[in-house]
Amino acid sequence: MAHESRKIYFCGSIRGGRDDVHVYQRLVHALRTYGTVLTEHVGDGSLTDSGEVSDSGDKLIHDRDLDWLRQSDVIVAEVTQPSLGVGYELGRAVEMNKPILCLFRPESGRRLSAMIRGAADGLKIQVQDYDQDQIQSILSQYFSQNRV
């Protein structure tokens, strides 16, 4: 798929905690090489764990994000910092049969949920352990696959 037309949905923790926001920032920046990132705000350093401010509240955020999820060609999720919202997005994306790449940093000392690692089939749903130095190579390898 051509870079210009590919829509990427990036998932990262917001109310689950913003400790990894610098990693999300790097990923969003790197992902722009491969398409349009619909959820750029996830990597915004000024967005706190209060989440986005919206007059219409959480329903607007939820409905907008599900629309973006439906439109997207691929989901990339940074899953090191546990987040209910990211887990929910991934579950919905699985049901939509979207290609999914989950990225986990073992250096965190955490153990990824079995419901994420156990969902991987190595094809449509991929879970990759990585450290930040590998961001470019992992994304380059992933997007060179025909299925995304």
Find the distance separating the first CA and the last CA of the chain, reported in whole Å: 7
What single letter denotes the amino acid at residue 108? S
What does residue 47 show for φ and ψ, rounded to 5 degrees? Answer: -80, 120
Ligand-binding site membership of 91 (annotated): no
Ligand-binding site membership of 92 (annotated): no
Burial class of residue 145 in the structure, from the number of CB atoms within 10 Å of its CB (0-12 exposed, 13-18 middle, 19+ buried): exposed
Site string for ligand 5HU, 32-71 (x = CB under 6 A): -------x--x--------xx--------x---x------
CA 111 to chain centre: 18
How many residues interact with ligand 5HU (rule CB under 6 A)? 17
Closest distance to ligand 5HU from the beta carbon of 96 (Å) = 15
Q: What are the residues binding ligand 5HU (CB under 6 A)?
A: 11-16, 39, 42, 51-52, 61, 65, 83-86, 89
- Where is the binding site for substrate, in residues? 9-15, 24, 89, 113-115
